[in-house]
Copies of this chain bind each other. A is one copy, B any other.
């Protein structure tokens, strides 16, 4: 394979919003942005084969360092030839740093200057994540895009808490650049810094400034979608995104409801990931052009129309609400497969329509019309 460096090129800029389309070039293929990355927490996008994930429209998959480190272990995946080979996904992979999972899933965490102590949510065993450690794990996995370790705080958090977490995140980011720059370049892995600062404008500004100095090839915006009202998240994006370098990809971490995708794109975001579409699917809720529909409900027991009559996905072409509801009700695996297929198709299709709207300079109208009918 010839060497294709990591690169990002903006292709269209919307004139009415900050929306833009671009091409993200990685060794394993190009990614058209704005892009939604489905989450393959444990080396699988839940319920789907990699072929299905690809045919639904995925260009890149996200996987979780925390989960894979604990099970089956990054050494095992390295022995298997890396995560791509292990899970048989040939496209690009982004791995997170595990920061978010350590703070949201693992019990008994203690943050030190050196790193974070935590217990496994699986067997209670104690572990220590440092910036160097999580980078080594992500290198063993063979991620195309890796993320720096960050300290995630919940919403609401005080100014002091937020500032402390931000300082730690920046100091950890420094350690990547000093220790690992050479190793990373050799592995052809790109690493994104993560901007923290909660909902405080001056802290977001400070975080952005400090990370820009470190000259990462891309930036994650972290610490959002952690319980704050959507309007506050949009406000943070309004004042944070303009501070970021124009020619580098911007990744809004953990965000993925249809309305947030549209609002994020409008504010200049290029990349998203979220478990929401697949998690909702497993709980029996599907997206339609009219908004969310709880297909699990008895109301649909005798409804022989597709989940969304305007949808062209495999599920909608072949099965009825009544059948999908029966499967969910009877706890049949096929039920959550069919809803997962539908929801991911819906999101990938939305992203495709967003890109086309930007290219045709009608993104604002498209967004307005979509949100008029889509009730979240």
Contacts and interface: CB of A to CB of B under 8 A. Distances in A.
A79 B305 CA distance: 12
A336 B333 contact: yes
A332 interface: yes
B79 A304 contact: yes
Interface stretch (A55-63, A256-264, A318-326): A318-326
Given A44-B327, A88-B319, A323-B87, A333 B333 contact: yes
Q: Residue among A301, A304, A333 with the most chain B CB within 10 A? A: A333
Interface in A241-269: none
Interface stretch (A45-53, A95-103, A186-194, A210-218): A45-53
A72 B322 contact: yes
Interface in A28-68: 42-44, 46-50
A80 interface: yes
A87 B301 CA distance: 14
B47 A80 contact: no
Interface of A: 42-44, 46-50, 71-72, 76, 79-81, 86-88, 301-302, 304, 318-320, 322-323, 326-327, 329-330, 332-334, 336-337
A35 to B, nearest CB: 23
Contact of A71 (B80, B86, B330): B330
B302 A88 contact: no
B42 A332 contact: yes
Contacts of A318: 49-50, 88
Contact of A333 (B43, B47, B319, B327): B47
Contacts of A44: 327, 332, 334
A331 to B, nearest CB: 9
Contacts of A322: 72, 76, 80, 86
Given A71-B326, A71-B330, A334-B48, A79 B302 contact: yes
Nearest to A325: B72
A320 B86 CA distance: 8
Contacts of A333: 46-47, 333, 336-337
A326 B49 contact: no
A81 B43 CA distance: 40
